[in-house]
Amino acid sequence: MIFEVIVNVSLKEAVLDPAGQSTGKILHNMGFGVENVRIGKQIKMNLNAENMNEAKENARQMAEKLLANPVLETYDIVVKEL
């Protein structure tokens, strides 16, 4: 079966986010009422797996081993059957 996997990665709250701070300041100066802007990344892929549980576990392992730095970042995973 083929699954769509989306891994959203963001910095932990305790980690400074200079890009988010800069973007937030610019948006505020443009007149938008934003606060606490954080910049992250999203990784999308199609994954072959036997079932949903295997797809979720494979995605978790990918996130832990390569896609996210568990010391500095958190992640969440969305898996949908295609």
Q: What is the CATH number of domain 2-81?
A: 3.30.1280.10
Q: What is the pTM of this model?
A: 0.88
Q: How many beta carbons lie within 10 A of that of residue 57, not counting itself?
A: 14
pLDDT computed for residue 39 by the predictor: 97
Model confidence pLDDT, tens digit, residues 8-49: 999 999 999 999 999 999 999 999 999 999 999 999 999 999
DSSP bridge pairs for 79: 5
What distances in angstroms separate CA 51 from CA 2, 5, 80, one per listed residue? 9, 13, 11
Tell me the domain boundaries of the chain. 2-81
pLDDT computed for residue 4 by the predictor: 98
